[in-house]
């Protein structure tokens, strides 16, 4: 429960910061964040648009793929660490369940502390850290997502550019639903190697992440759910590859 709560807090923090700090294009154009995050993305958007014959939709797709490729080594390392932790969890589970049962049955606070120490010693014996959920890729994505969001909002070209059936600068219900659906599929794919018990524990996150993406996308330029949709498709392929590489 702690793991999924912490993940949800980090994810919703990203969306809350963006939605809470939104301003009109042209405002707050100075400062460290704007100079080192927003302006580089603004440059990349126009650079890739020129390469793709003025298509800002293609530019968003290329930027998304670039970001995902750069994050790819971190994500692989995170998946490898999670697999190792899962194997250790399976190894110590019988002993851990015995200790947890004793903890529930024990009423003496002093005895409970002794049992807690036994649990800590069990973790130390197997070099198992239950708090190690690999948040680095999520933390790296926070400034990236914020920088790209403000670059999109501040681009007059994106605000007036159409791609496929939608206007990149206006909210689009189809792209909103598509982004949420893709991230839900990505979650389902990521659960393939988990036990039924673990799937039940992670079901909350599996529903909340797509819902939060859709809620925010309803009032955001369609370029943002386009970023999430392409990124989600990349993550599906990345997850399948990771499962194949680190298969038990």
Residue pLDDT, tens place only, 73-97: 887 777 777 777 777 777 777 887 8
Q: What is the pLDDT of residues 3-51, one digit of tens each?
A: 444 444 455 555 444 444 444 444 445 567 777 778 888 888 888 888 8
Q: What is the pLDDT of residues 190-208, one digit of tens each?
A: 877 766 666 676 677 777 8
Separation CA 198–CA 204 (nearest Å):
11
Separation CA 22–CA 164 (nearest Å):
26
Mean pLDDT calculated for residue range 238-244:
82
In terms of residues, how long is the chain? 248
pTM of this structure: 0.69
Render the burial of 79-112: b for 16+ CB within 10 Å, e for the rest.
bebbbebeebeeebeeebeeeeeeeeeeeeeeee
Q: What is the pLDDT of residues 91-150, one digit of tens each?
A: 777 887 887 788 777 777 787 788 788 888 877 777 776 655 555 566 677 777 778 878
Query: In 3-state terms, the chain is what percent helix, strand and coil (to 5)?
Result: 75, 0, 20
pLDDT of residue 2: 40
pLDDT of residue 138: 64
Determine contact, residues 45/60, Cβ cutoff 8 Å. yes
| DSSP 8-state code for residue 145 | H
Top-ranked range on mean pLDDT: pick from 4-8, 178-182, 214-218: 178-182
């Amino acid at each position: 429960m702690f793991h999924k709560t912490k993940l949800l807090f980090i994810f919703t923090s990203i969306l809350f910061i963006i939605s809470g700090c939104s301003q009109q294009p042209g405002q707050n154009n100075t400062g460290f964040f704007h100079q080192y995050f927003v302006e580089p993305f603004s440059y990349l958007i126009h650079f890739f648009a020129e390469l793709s014959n003025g298509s800002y939709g293609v530019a968003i797709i290329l930027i998304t793929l670039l970001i995902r490729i750069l994050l790819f080594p971190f994500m692989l390392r995170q998946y490898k660490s999670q697999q190792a932790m899962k194997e250790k969890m399976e190894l110590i589970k019988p002993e851990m369940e015995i200790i947890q049962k004793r903890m529930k049955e024990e009423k003496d606070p002093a005895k409970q502390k002794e049992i807690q120490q036994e649990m800590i010693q069990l973790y130390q014996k197997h070099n198992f850290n239950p708090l190690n959920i690999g948040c680095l890729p999520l933390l790296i994505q926070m400034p990236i997502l914020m920088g790209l969001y403000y670059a999109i909002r501040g681009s007059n070209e994106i605000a007036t550019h159409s791609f496929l059936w939608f206007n990149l600068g206006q909210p689009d219900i189809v792209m909103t639903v598509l982004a949420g659906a893709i991230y839900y599929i990505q979650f389902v794919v990521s659960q393939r190697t988990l036990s039924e018990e673990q799937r039940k524990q992670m079901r909350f996150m599996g529903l909340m992440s797509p819902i939060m993406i859709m809620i925010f996308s309803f009032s955001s330029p369609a370029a943002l759910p386009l970023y999430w949709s392409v990124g989600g498709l990349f993550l599906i392929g990345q997850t399948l590859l990771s499962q194949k590489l680190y298969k038990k």
